[in-house]
Chain A
Amino acid sequence: MDFQTLILTLENYWRGKGCLLVQPYDLEVGAGTFAPATFFSVLGPDPVRTAYVQPARRPADGRYGENPNRLYQHHQYQVIIKPAPFDIQDIYLASLRELGIDPKLHDLRFVEDDWESPTLGASGLGWEVWCDGLEITQFTYFQQMGGFELDPVPVELTYGLERIAMFLQGVENVFDLEWAEGISYGAMRKRQEYEFSRYSFEEVPAGEYPDLFRRFEEEGLALVKAGLVYPAYDFALKCSHVFNLLDARGAVSVSERAHYIARVRRLARGCAELYLRKPEEGGGEDG
């Protein structure tokens, strides 16, 4: 199964489960959880069923396109359902069958992995799902987002698309994956991997980016004050990415690290708070 068929299969499967298929968010995020389609939709009482592909950038994981398993940017398939269905484990496992993973031939396991994102003020309990020792999905019941307790409790499924594709195609180097028939992942992505690795490890102007972070932060806080929740959250994402770049560049000491993270969290919390206010108070979706 090539990469794009993998995505299509998941899209079809989850559409069949009543999910709204949305498109990737157009800002740099480190994980699908950061996209507004997750961050905001898990807040509040309204039911949600949504799924999307999200390219995820992790500057520190870049390896100039030389490591067979590590990427500056990989793809996640993200499913958010609120409230979490009673038989969500079975629904998830059935999606693996769709991908051609026969559970009687493979060792599928739910291994404890509690997830936490101090940057988003988010936490949840769940597992990494293992297929023959390979982590293919992060399965999390969110308990908190933006510092707020969640009720109803949403479930988040994050499929690691490259890993699953490598597993399905029996490939040991991610760049050897078939994106589509006759087109390799390497042909599609290798140059980007190299250039973005060089950028984040060598070219990021470490002296100037702290100021950039500060300006994005100020902008975000001002937008929260102005009651513009989505633009404000965009600036939280920009801050988060600038921080990731500085971190990859080795320009963040351990003590500064906690400080940066706390600053993004403050902004994210402000956005969540604003979002949860009733529309007439100036917040809320499509308010």
Chain B
Amino acid sequence: MAERRKNFLLEIGTEELPPSFLGPALEQLRAGARELSPTAEASTLATPRRLVLHLAGLPLWREETVFGPPLERARDEKGNWNRQALGFARGRGKQDADLRVAQKKGRDYCALTLRIETAVELAEAAGELIARLGFPKSMRWLTGDPFRFGRPIRWLLCLFGSEVLPVSAAGLRAGRETRGLRFFAPEGLKVPRADLGEFQKLLRDNYVLADSDQRKKKIEAGLLRQLRRRRPAAGPEDIDSGLLEEVAGLVEYPRIIRGGFERRFLSLPAEVLVTVMRVYQRYFPVFRENGELAEEFLLVANGPFSRTAAIRKNNQKVLRARLADAEFFWREDLARPLEDRLEELDGMVFYRGLGTYRDKTRRLVPLSAGIARRLEAPAAEIADTERAALLAKTDLVTAMVREFTDLQGVMGGEYARRQGEGEGVAIALREQYLPRRAEDPVPRTRPGMALALADRLDTLAAFFSAGFSPSGSSDPYGLRRQAGGVVRILAERELSLPVAELVEEAVSGLAPPPEATGKLKEEIAAFIRARLEAYLEGRGFPTDMVRAVFAAGGDDLPGAVSRIETLEKMRGSKELLAAATVVERTANIVREAGLSGKEAWRDGPSVDPAERNLARVYAERGEEIRRLIEKGDYRKATSSYARVFSRPLSDFFDRVLVNVEDDRERKNRMILLKKINLVYTESVADLSLLQFERGEHILE
């Protein structure tokens, strides 16, 4: 008896794909699978040499209605199918007996029910899926064929149930053969049917762990076992996750081998050792109980080696040569004071058309010192900031940083410390690039913060002034990351710095001074503001609240954050709703009037008692609310604002018509409303920008 449902298995066999290509490729395979069959259970596997898609439980066929001519044109006068209808049936390989009537958009048609074989559909779709796969970088290898892939495809396996599907791609036809690990498995492994478990077992028996996650887990467990020999408390957080991901994408059958190096290399800074091991060799460092580096490394080899002595010895030899190089750089670099390298910065272009690093240094010194002063740093720290700014970029021309750009800042700090610069300077040099990545901390010291901020603001000013501002999703110079760094430092260190003024200082430091400085400053400030909104939204604050608060000014970032936090806690409360009502009622009617709120409200004979009362409440209680705001007690300020103004405002609107004919009278009323509006919206939030739930917003 034939089975009702079958599985589908596709394996694209390649030469070694780069590890970073695997995840995105599987993502695309899964998306393709959803298009193919939204209901089938899709699984994917990947190794450097294969991308696999498996779909479970597909029906053997499906039925599809095909519409022919409309019914009135498909029948003859006797009500039988006419020639046109019969032609339609034959064209689809069917008889007149197969024709039926079906409705489409309320109209009757002559129609056929076709049986679509899943195998046929799959064969076609699989070929297209392969051709459609995109990679960060792809290549050609077929003569006269523009087909591109991450690396050459060398075999295709495609099964539906136990049947090979006629799939063609990249000049190959699919078969039922797969390959195991190179050197260790026999050639031409036959896969009898599209069973995921069986397929994985066949591969495992031939030294391929096809599931990336499984491979990663196995490597992680193996690494932990080894790490715990030195430090029993070692956990997954001690393993570089990026490196783990990469290494898992470099092997099909991981085998962990432990190696060692000479103790003398431990006198190099730990970051240097870790970087050399990671960047050059993809080794994992080993730490001791006390957190210091051990003279050991762990490597992940590819294969079920029965003997590992040679592999260990040879890897150790390679690492020794690499470390000897690093040691050479370290000694050479140390022999030359950082300050002596300033001249070399003249020859190092910051970016084409944006001057040299020496130019940048000249701007960084006053800019960062200015920020340090604003942070109320004591004189000694301001001096450290200036010194650090002067030396900030000198490590870029050291041999070590030329070799390992990742170590910029880190080396500056290490060299500074050993060359007798103050500890404050050394730390600031190291902190200037923080945060590099999302998981990095922000600088802790004032000189570090000042330098980190100045460096980023200067970069933004320079790039924007040269017209290299990001557009849409493209940001080739990584300026969003720079602005994001500014935001994180300000937010996480709770610095009350006026961003607009800092931008102004950065822009006015540029030489020659850029054109249209005003517009430039606005652009940069808006750019940083956008990052800020994104950052706060990332912390879970709703967009409408962020916008409402920033409409009242966001230069004092910690103040803005605390306003957002307070108001967000009040969300749904009667007080906030009432305050929003006051804001909205005082805003709507005066919106177009072009008032500043500084105009004077005048009493007079035409003033209604309700208006006079409102003005009196404003005069008597307005100041008290302002004081609460100044103190930062936004909760109390909000509820007071609501309590003080709700009733008098309500009375006012009940009794007074604002839009009267008399210009002066109308304007006078608007002035009063504007003043009441500004008490709150000027320095807390423009609550009219908040989205309230339906029915929540009841205007009394």
Contact = CB atoms under 8 A, between A and B. Distances in A.
A131 B19 CA distance: 18
B314 A109 contact: no
A84 B15 CA distance: 13
A54 B264 CA distance: 37
Interface in A98-116: 103-112, 114
B318 A107 contact: no
A232 B513 CA distance: 46
Given A103-B183, A105-B310, A133-B318, A153 B302 contact: no
Given A134-B318, A153-B141, A254-B348, 14 more contacts: A69-B321, A104-B305, A105-B307, A105-B311, A108-B182, A108-B183, A109-B16, A109-B250, A131-B314, A132-B311, A141-B152, A153-B139, A255-B347, A255-B352
Contacts of A132: 310-311, 314-315, 318
Contact of A172 (B15, B151, B182, B317): B317
B281 interface: yes
Given A106-B310, A110-B15, A133-B318, A125 B137 contact: yes
Given A68-B321, A110-B16, A254-B349, A104 B152 contact: no
B400 to A, nearest CB: 16
B303 interface: yes
A109 B317 contact: no
A127 B139 CA distance: 13
Contact of A86 (B18, B154, B299, B321): B154
A151 B142 CA distance: 8
16 contacts: A69-B321, A83-B143, A86-B154, A105-B305, A106-B314, A107-B302, A110-B48, A111-B282, A112-B16, A125-B139, A141-B139, A152-B144, A172-B320, A253-B349, A254-B347, A255-B347
Contacts of A109: 16, 250-251, 302
Given A133-B281, A167-B314, A107 B349 contact: no
A253 B347 contact: yes
B136 to A, nearest CB: 10
Contacts of B314: 106, 131-134, 167
B319 interface: yes
A38 interface: no
Interface residues on B, range: 35 or more
A143 interface: yes
B311 A107 contact: yes
Interface in B149-183: 151-152, 154, 182-183
B184 A104 contact: yes
Contact of B315 (A112, A133, A152): A133
A5 interface: no
B144 to A, nearest CB: 6
B325 interface: yes
A104 B317 CA distance: 20
A153 B143 contact: yes
A151 B184 CA distance: 35
B301 interface: yes
A4 interface: no
A69 B326 CA distance: 13
A12 interface: no
B579 to A, nearest CB: 58
Interface residues of A, number: 36
A107 B307 contact: no
Contacts, number: 98
Contacts of B328: 67
10 closest residue pairs by CB, A with B: A132-B314, A253-B347, A112-B18, A110-B16, A133-B315, A152-B143, A107-B301, A103-B183, A125-B139, A133-B318
Nearest to A69: B321
B426 to A, nearest CB: 27
Interface in B391-441: none
B655 interface: no
Given A68-B321, A132-B318, A134-B314, A151 B19 contact: no
Contacts of B141: 84, 141, 153
Interface in B230-252: 250-251
Interface string B319-360: 111001100100000000000000000111100100000000
Give the residue among B141, B318, B319, B352 with the most A Cβ atoms within 10 A: B141
B140 interface: yes
Interface string A149-165: 00111000000000000
Given A89-B15, A109-B302, A112-B19, A69 B140 contact: no
A230 B356 CA distance: 39
A143 B303 CA distance: 32
Contacts of B299: 133
A176 to B, nearest CB: 13
A22 B15 CA distance: 29
A212 to B, nearest CB: 21
A99 B151 CA distance: 27
Give the residue among A68, A106, A107, A108 with the most B Cβ atoms within 10 A: A107
A111 B246 CA distance: 11
A255 B349 contact: yes
B250 A143 contact: no
A126 B278 CA distance: 20
A69 B281 CA distance: 16
Contacts of A152: 143-144
Nearest to B325: A69
A68 B321 CA distance: 8
A151 B281 contact: no
Nearest to A124: B139
A89 to B, nearest CB: 6
A28 to B, nearest CB: 24
Nearest to B350: A254
Contacts of B282: 111
A253 B140 CA distance: 36
Contacts of A69: 321, 324-325
Given A89-B15, A104-B183, A254-B348, A111 B318 contact: no
Interface string B279-307: 00110000000000000000101110111
A110 B349 CA distance: 35
A103 B317 CA distance: 19
B361 to A, nearest CB: 15
Nearest to B145: A151
Nearest to A135: B318
A254 B393 CA distance: 15
Interface string B82-123: 000000000000000000000000000000000000000000
Contacts of A134: 314, 317-318
Nearest to B144: A151
Interface in A246-286: 253-255
Contacts of A127: 16
A106 B140 contact: no
Nearest to B304: A104
